[in-house]
Chains A and B, each alone.
Chain A
Amino acid sequence: MIDIIDYGAGNLFSVLKALEALHAQPQIIKTPNRYRGGKIVVPGVGAFGDAMQGLRATGFAAFVQEQVQKGKPVLGICVGLQVLFASSAESPGITGLNFFPERVTRFPATHKVPHMGWNQLDVRRETKLLRGIQSGEFVYFAHSYAVTAAEQKYAAAVCHYSLSFAAVIENENLYGVQFHPEKSQRVGMQILKNFVELC
């Protein structure tokens, strides 16, 4: 049972369908009181500031913080990963959900921005989310901001572009992926399956 929280962050349909294909009994919830008590997915496209504003306006910001405390598995996708951090260069002055103290930064102009397309995972440690995933496997990214991996000790896998950044975050019941697993074909579906099968 997985609840995908809808705080106005655009395309939830693909995530919903990917989880349905995995028989995860997903549903989209628009308010915290629809929560069924299972796992939670925090999707996200668009800007960090808009996402945080949406999370606060709908009550989902406090809700996610509470459920993480209670030990519920939470998976942030793309901007949904970024909002787990303290702040972002994209939206100065806006505080994130603050589970991790780092600031999300913009890719330097040495390479093309957005970082768009299929790039490889560099797996740093064996984690639940990465079961069956090897270094070198490709996943689909589409983003201009990222968490620099060097100082991120919870990065389970990193990815190398103009700088190395956290591609997969995992700390106890808190998970995040910077790429779009729902668009990353076999590898992405394996990662979602791993999340579905967590106990």
Chain B
Amino acid sequence: MLAKRIIPCLDVKDGRVVKGVNFVNLVDAGDPVAQAQFYDEEGADELVFLDITASTEARPILLDMVQRVAENIHLPFTVGGGVRTVDDMREILRAGADKISINTAAWQQPELISRGAEIFGSQCVVVAIDARRHGEHWELYTHGGRNATGGDALAWASEAQARGAGELLVTSMDKDGTRGGFDLPLLTALSETIHLPIIASGGAGAIQHFVDAVQQGQADAVLAASLLHFREIQIADIKKAFLENGIPTRYEQLSDRANQI
């Protein structure tokens, strides 16, 4: 069975993790490799690095970071943030990332999706969608959620699919930071129209939320940041709940970890 994935999201700036695990005995909490190794051992199925570096001049630093992660971790990972051109995508993929996440640039130049899919394959192209509810529909936001586009998030998801996106990373701005659970109506609406894998993001606050996102929202993967970073919930706990609820999960290290709990 294809496992439902659990994906920690790490924010990086100038090649350093600025939002990641802080509480455990990491020698260097800013080191992306140490963070990735930590989550690898925890049983993460994949990782997302979100680059929040403002300057594009820092690109070589990011590429160096991607290389170091790929050298040390044999786990798939996605890199997003500030990717604007096919060349940006190529550099990051060549450095060892598996997928590129594009958001604002995809909306501004949708052909970036088509060209990326054509050159690197759909499986490399993740379109990140930030959506906020307005009445009966969801509006698409760009620039890290600052700019309302006036576009319909579901219509945009369909276009991204038609252009060859391989996956959607969907963040509910209404739910993000609330810890009140994932946006199930948004996920349900998407899964009814979209035939791509969907990563649910925004709102995780309890183990049951992850179960709900998969069972009710039909998400293929769930993404979380601070909840995992602050060790309020551990990946093993989520996987245990998945197993109990009959949700397929990769339980590689679960038995060892479960014994320690």
User: Scoring A residues 89 to 123 as 1 if CB is less than 8 Å from chain B, else 0, what string do you get?
Assistant: 00000000000000000000100111111111000
Question: What A residues does B3 contact at CB under 8 A?
Answer: 117-119, 138
A120 and B45 CA atoms in complex are apart in Å by 14
The interface-forming segment of B25-33, B66-74, B177-185, B203-211 is B66-74
Shortest Cβ distance from residue A18 to the other chain B in the assembled complex, whole angstroms: 6
A47 and B115 CA atoms in complex are apart in Å by 13
A184 and B3 CA atoms in complex are apart in Å by 13
Interface residues in B1-37 by Cβ distance below 8 A to A read 1-5
Which residue of A13, A18, A114 contacts B74 across the interface (Cβ within 8 Å)? A18
Please tell me if B109 contacts chain A, counting CB pairs below 8 Å: no
Please tell me if B62 contacts chain A, counting CB pairs below 8 Å: no
A46 and B75 CA atoms in complex are apart in Å by 19
Assess whether A144 is in contact with B123, with CB atoms less than 8 Å apart: yes
Question: What B residues does A45 contact at CB under 8 A?
Answer: 120-121, 123-124
User: How many residues on B have C-beta within 8 angstroms of the other chain's C-beta atoms?
Assistant: 37
Question: What B residues does A115 contact at CB under 8 A?
Answer: 2
A118 and B7 CA atoms in complex are apart in Å by 12
A76 and B161 CA atoms in complex are apart in Å by 29
Which residue of A11, A46, A79 contacts B96 across the interface (Cβ within 8 Å)? A11
Assess whether A183 is in contact with B252, with CB atoms less than 8 Å apart: no
Please tell me if B217 contacts chain A, counting CB pairs below 8 Å: no
Shortest Cβ distance from residue A191 to the other chain B in the assembled complex, whole angstroms: 11
Interface residues in A1-38 by Cβ distance below 8 A to B read 10-11, 13-14, 17-18, 21
A189 and B75 CA atoms in complex are apart in Å by 11
Question: What A residues does B70 contact at CB under 8 A?
Answer: 13-14, 17
Question: What B residues does A114 contact at CB under 8 A?
Answer: 122-123, 166-167, 196-197
Interface residues in B162-199 by Cβ distance below 8 A to A read 166-167, 195-197
Instruction: Determine the main DSSP class of A at the interface with B.
Output: mixed
Assess whether A11 is in contact with B93, with CB atoms less than 8 Å apart: yes
- On whether A142 and B94 interact (CB within 8 A), knowing A182-B74, A188-B74, the answer reads no
A184 and B177 CA atoms in complex are apart in Å by 32
Question: What A residues does B99 contact at CB under 8 A?
Answer: 142
Assess whether A183 is in contact with B195, with CB atoms less than 8 Å apart: no
A118 and B252 CA atoms in complex are apart in Å by 11
Assess whether B120 is in contact with A13, with CB atoms less than 8 Å apart: no
A17 and B96 CA atoms in complex are apart in Å by 9
Which residue of A112, A120, A180, A188 contacts B195 across the interface (Cβ within 8 Å)? A112
Assess whether A183 is in contact with B197, with CB atoms less than 8 Å apart: no
Please tell me if A175 contacts chain B, counting CB pairs below 8 Å: no
Please tell me if B151 contacts chain A, counting CB pairs below 8 Å: no
Please tell me if B130 contacts chain A, counting CB pairs below 8 Å: no
Assess whether B220 is in contact with A116, with CB atoms less than 8 Å apart: yes
- On whether A185 and B252 interact (CB within 8 A), knowing A118-B5, A140-B76, the answer reads yes
Please tell me if B152 contacts chain A, counting CB pairs below 8 Å: no
A120 and B252 CA atoms in complex are apart in Å by 11
Please tell me if A128 contacts chain B, counting CB pairs below 8 Å: no
- On whether A10 and B74 interact (CB within 8 A), knowing A142-B98, A185-B252, the answer reads no
- On whether A116 and B197 interact (CB within 8 A), knowing A138-B250, A183-B74, A189-B74, the answer reads yes
Question: What B residues does A183 contact at CB under 8 A?
Answer: 74-76, 98
Please tell me if B119 contacts chain A, counting CB pairs below 8 Å: yes
Which residue of A11, A46, A116 contacts B166 across the interface (Cβ within 8 Å)? A116
User: Scoring A residues 35 to 75 as 1 if CB is less than 8 Å from chain B, else 0, what string do you get?
Assistant: 00000000001110000000000000000000000000000
- On whether A13 and B195 interact (CB within 8 A), knowing A118-B3, A118-B45, A184-B74, the answer reads no
Closest A-B pairs by Cβ, 10 of them: A142-B123, A118-B3, A138-B250, A13-B96, A118-B250, A183-B76, A17-B71, A116-B197, A46-B121, A119-B2
Contact sample, A vs B, 25 pairs, CB 8 Å cutoff = A10-B93, A11-B96, A11-B97, A14-B96, A14-B98, A45-B121, A79-B121, A114-B166, A114-B197, A116-B123, A116-B220, A117-B2, A117-B4, A117-B5, A118-B5, A119-B1, A119-B2, A120-B1, A142-B76, A142-B166, A143-B123, A183-B75, A185-B74, A185-B75, A188-B74
- Chain A residues near B (Cβ < 8 Å): 10-11, 13-14, 17-18, 21, 45-47, 79, 109, 112-120, 138, 140, 142-144, 160-161, 180, 182-189
